[in-house]
Amino acid sequence: MRDLLIAIGVLSALAGVAAAAKRDWTGSTACGACHPKELAAWQATPHATTAARFGSATVPGKCLACHATGEAPAGPAIALEVGCEACHGAGAAYAEDDLMRDLPVARALGLVDLSTPKARAAVCSGCHARTTKSGPFDANAPVHPVMP
């Protein structure tokens, strides 16, 4: 059952990859240059620190599908982290100041819509099963809460 759930997760992750407009990635540091608060908040989460689970061992491609950002297992992973672009979409085409101020344009260039519960659930479910060890998975839980 767990293998089946993982297989479904990988397939949906691949579907998400295929849907992005451009296959170009900037990396989380580049996003953080303009979004320092989100970067700092994200750095404290398990999404950012997952590399620590794998130590120095080579990570199998099937694990990179969810524990990394990029096109694994079909293509290269750009980082061993669940980076900004794992949720927001590959950013090279939209990650510019004037484009990002124009939401419809940014979306057309690959910025993923996460504004509704349904849209969020679709992105999270690419990697997360419906239930976790501690209970139901909540797609609306804060992912990088910025403190006021």
Does position 108 interact with ligand HEC (CB under 6 A)? The reply is no
62/26 Cα distance (integer angstroms): 22
Query: Residue type for 13, please?
Result: A
Q: Which two tokens stand for residue 111?
A: 């910025």
Does position 97 interact with ligand HEC (CB under 6 A)? The reply is yes
Sole residue written with tokens 């939209």? 94
Nearest distance from C-beta of residue 79 to ligand HEC, angstroms: 11
CA pseudo-torsion sign 79, 39, 136, 122: negative
Nearest residue to ligand HEC, scored by beta-carbon proximity:
91
Looking at beta carbons only, is 20 or 120 nearer to ligand HEC? 120
119/125 Cα distance (integer angstroms): 10
Q: Is 144 left (phi over 0), alpha (psi -120 to 50) or beta?
A: beta
Does position 100 interact with ligand HEC (CB under 6 A)? The reply is yes
- Residue 46 CA neighbour count, 13 Å, CB half: 5
Among 15, 30, 56, 77, binds ligand HEC (CB under 6 A): 30
Among 17, 20, 65, 78, binds ligand HEC (CB under 6 A): 65
Q: Which two tokens stand for residue 102?
A: 């124009």
Nearest distance from C-beta of residue 44 to ligand HEC, angstroms: 11
Q: Which residues bind ligand HEC (CB under 6 A)?
A: 6, 9-10, 26, 28, 30-35, 38-39, 42, 46-47, 50, 53, 60, 62-63, 65-67, 82, 84-88, 91, 95-97, 100-101, 103, 114-115, 120, 123-124, 126-128, 132, 139, 141, 143-144, 146
